[in-house]
Amino acid sequence: MKLPIKLIIGLGNPGQSFYYHRHSIGFRVLDALAEKYHAHWQERQNMEMTQVPLGDSNVYLVKPQTYMNNSGAVLSFFTKKGIKAEDILVVHDELEIPFGKVTLKQGGSARGHNGLKSIISVIGDNFHRLRVGIGRPENREDVPDYVLSNFPEGEPKVTEIIQKALDILS
């Protein structure tokens, strides 16, 4: 990754019962990145945090433990350290991207994603995003249940998606 990133936040909901939900793919990507670098998670206030060597510096990895709608609550710790929005990359699920596609983007709206809304409310929208495509259900009213459901049982593509994200990040 050639971006000048100091902090990567993976979005998800805390607790084992949520871990395999589409909405928690950000947690799974960060867990895979931490594992790749043999990093160990530490609990701190309202987050799990570690550091890994990416590029020329150590980068914080953070999994908010606040539930999706309040993900931005972890940011005050890092803004006090001088980390700005443009130094941050958020890994999140994206309904508007086909299942399996992973893209980078900087800035933009939350497009209904409550985790992004929370982060934008704290630091604005000028952060980087690693958007992990989870596809979209046919009916709009099915979105809440869809993002809070597991990927299909034994779906090999989930492992491939996580690997795509790792290839971009490292």
- Please report the DSSP string for the chain in residue order: --S--SEEEE---SSGGGTTBGGGHHHHHHHHHHHHTT---EEETTEEEEEEEETTEEEEEEEESS-GGGGGGGHHHHHTTT--GGGEEEEEEETTS-TT-EEEEES---TT-HHHHHHHHHH-S-SEEEEEE----SSGGGHHHHHTSBPPTT-HHHHHHHHHHHHHH-
Nearest Cα neighbor of 92 from 168, 31, 164, 12 is 12
User: Distance between CA atoms of 90 and 12, rounded to whole angstroms?
Assistant: 11
Q: Which of 21, 23, 92, 113 is catalytic?
A: 23
Q: Is 128 a catalytic residue?
A: no
* Residues recognised as catalytic: 23
